[in-house]
Amino acid sequence: MNSDNVLKKEFSKNDVQRARNLISGNISARTTEGIGYSKKHEHRVEGDVWEENGRTWTIKNGLKQNITKMDKFKKMGKLPLFCPECNKLMKKHLDTKVFPAYQKCFDCVVDYEAQLQKEGKAEEYFNNLHNERINNIQKEYENFMKEKITEGSNSYVTERGDKEDWKGGFDKEYLEKELQEGLEYLENLKIK
């Protein structure tokens, strides 16, 4: 097996694994914010900082790298001091956990869900939350796979920043099929 084949094989294996992780919901708890994906291929140079798939990237020493710290600061900045619903100071760890998805503090979420329970609307509400989460995973999975499919025969920089060149691309049909099957699988997880 020549070196091109080795790279091609590793690429497929790693990326398919990442795609499967996305399917199984094995992604860091992300909100719908920041998932936006730009299809434009832009030429980046050393020191550029840009957003892609809800993450911040830069080119350092000629390699594409993920800036995790900057992401964290941005998320912190998005959390207001006070809950928009009850106007109380949001200081609990649970507040920061629930705020991105609910736009209110933890206590307000608990109250809201108790109210729904009383009104008999809880099941519908939780089903919607469940389906919404699957929608988000589907979007993220589709973006990820389409990015892989369009990347084609270009040189490829892994998330760790290693640069890999390969020629002749990879099995596009296989990835397209994998994408469709993944989306179908996720669709079936929705509560109808």
Q: What residue ranges bind Zn ion (CB under 5 A)?
A: 83, 85-86, 105, 108
Judged by beta carbon, residue 66 or residue 96, the one nearer Zn ion is 96
Smallest distance from Zn ion to CB 118, Å: 18
Judged by beta carbon, residue 86 or residue 114, the one nearer Zn ion is 86
**What is the token pair recorded at 118?**
């009383």
Helices (H), the chain: 3-23, 68-78, 93-102, 106-119, 122-151, 172-189
Helix (H, G, I), strand (E, B) or coil at 99: helix
Amino acid identity at 156: Y
Smallest distance from Zn ion to CB 113, Å: 13
Smallest distance from Zn ion to CB 127, Å: 24
Judged by beta carbon, residue 49 or residue 89, the one nearer Zn ion is 89
Judged by beta carbon, residue 49 or residue 110, the one nearer Zn ion is 110
Q: How many CB atoms lie within 10 A of CB 116?
A: 15
Is the CB of residue 169 less than 8 Å from the CB of residue 152? yes
Smallest distance from Zn ion to CB 68, Å: 29
Whole-number Å distance between alpha carbons of 84 and 88: 8
